[in-house]
């Protein structure tokens, strides 16, 4: 089992076992055998897939919207269920904490965030209770939309399309699912990157947003783009790490250019000295 899988499975099973089941279903949560792959999205299969962005959704005010309306910018998509007292709250709280750590990127201005419920039993009431519990600052609320699917039959179609696997465990009286942040490209809504809760930091989230931009940067984002080139996504760790080849390449290029410049200066100086003494 990879480092990423071990970390995610251990973390989510801890949430499931240590936290009581949500009030809607009631009762304690016993330990059960879980297929660890349910907590991961197969990036090899699903990166680049278009999310089904035209399905009808309902927001916290009961107003209709679609995911496509949020794709004017890169979008961070979180799939959760709103009667969950455990992992879903932690997953969304973790994303909130990472966003608070990004000082020069803001939800609503530079990217959007959308949390959708995959539970057909969720309502506007459970949505607002869940949203209130996150205690988000006002500036963050403007760029973070919570919603449910208007047609319950659309849920599995949507989740299957982007590789988000989940199941209801009667034994545990809880849903098991990935604790994933899904980064979608603007306009087309293609899956560009997957990060996992409690395995990433603010820089990872920022770099994933930049990846989702696909090279379409504003003039004031050039520095951010240059910084992003120093990192690459590490699939084994599920986060961004220093891009060693890039550093080596940049160092080699710098050394080569410097050596060439020095050689030219030395050559010119020697030629000038020969002209003086001739």
Encode pLDDT of 219-237 as tens digits. Answer: 555 555 556 568 788 878 7
Both 229 and 251 in one domain: the answer is: no
Shared domain for 263 and 232, answered yes or no, is: no
Has residue 21 got a pLDDT over 50? no
User: In degrees, to the nearest 5, what angle opens at C-alpha 91 toward C-alphas 90 and 96?
Assistant: 90
Q: Are residues 117 and 70 part of one domain?
A: yes
Residues 252 and 216 in one domain: no
pLDDT for position 225: 57
Instruction: State the pLDDT confidence band at 101, using cuts at 50, 70 and 90.
Output: very high
- Do residues 238 and 253 both lie within one domain? no
Q: How many domains does the chain have?
A: 2
| Span 81-91, pLDDT tens digits | 999 878 899 99
| 251 and 234 share one domain | no
Q: How many CB atoms lie within 10 A of CB 242?
A: 11
pLDDT at 215 over 70: no
- Claim to verify: residue 149 and residue 257 sit in the same structural domain: no
Does residue 259 share a domain with residue 182? no
pLDDT score at 236 = 81
| Dist CA 82 CA 18 (whole Å) | 18
- Give the CATH number of the domain where residue 107 resides: 3.40.30.10
Task: List pLDDT tens digits, range 115-143.
Answer: 999 999 999 999 999 999 999 999 899 99
pTM of the model: 0.77
Do both 145 and 68 map to the same domain? yes
The edge-to-edge listing of strands for the beta sheet with 112-117 is: 64-65, 57-59, 144-149, 112-117, 75-80, 180-184, 191-196
Closest CA to 165 of 184, 182, 151: 182
Question: Are residues 122 and 64 both part of a single domain?
Answer: yes
Tell me the pLDDT tens digit for each residue of 139-170: 899 999 999 999 999 999 999 999 999 988 88
Q: Please list, residue by residue across 95-124, b when 16 or more beta carbons sit within 10 angstroms of its beta carbon and e when fewer do.
A: bbebbeebeebebeebbbbbbbbbbeebeb
Average pLDDT, the chain: 81
Roughly how many angstroms between the first and final C-alpha of the chain, as a whole number? 75
Domain coverage including residue 199: 3-242
> Are 232 and 250 in a shared domain?
no
Same domain, 47 and 183: yes
pLDDT in tens, 22-72: 434 444 444 456 666 778 999 999 999 999 999 999 999 999 999 999 999
């Amino acid at each position: 089992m990879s480092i990423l899988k071990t970390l995610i499975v251990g973390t989510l099973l801890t949430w499931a076992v240590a936290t009581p089941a949500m009030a809607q279903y009631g009762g304690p949560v016993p330990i059960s055998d879980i297929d660890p792959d349910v907590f991961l999205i197969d990036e090899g299969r699903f990166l680049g897939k278009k999310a089904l962005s035209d399905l009808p959704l309902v927001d916290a005010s009961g107003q209709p919207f679609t995911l496509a309306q949020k794709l004017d910018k890169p979008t961070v998509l979180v799939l959760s269920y709103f009667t969950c007292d455990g992992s879903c709250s932690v997953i969304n709280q973790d994303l909130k904490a990472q966003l608070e750590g990004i000082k020069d990127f803001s939800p609503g201005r530079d990217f959007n965030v959308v949390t959708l419920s995959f539970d057909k039993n969720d309502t506007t009431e459970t949505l607002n209770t869940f949203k209130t519990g996150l205690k988000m600052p006002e500036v963050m609320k403007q760029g973070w939309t919570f919603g449910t699917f208007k047609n319950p039959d659309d849920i599995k179609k949507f989740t299957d399309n982007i590789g988000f696997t989940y199941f209801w465990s009667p034994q545990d009286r809880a849903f098991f699912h990935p604790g994933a942040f899904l980064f979608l490209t603007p306009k087309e809504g293609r899956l560009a990157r997957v990060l996992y809760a409690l395995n990433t930091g603010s820089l990872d989230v920022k770099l994933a947003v930049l990846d989702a931009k696909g090279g379409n940067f504003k003039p004031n984002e050039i520095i951010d783009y240059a910084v992003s080139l120093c990192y690459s996504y590490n699939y084994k760790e599920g986060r961004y790490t220093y891009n060693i080849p890039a550093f080596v390449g940049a160092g080699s290029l710098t050394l080569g250019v410097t050596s060439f410049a020095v050689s030219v200066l030395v050559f010119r100086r020697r030629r000038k000295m020969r002209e003086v003494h001739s």
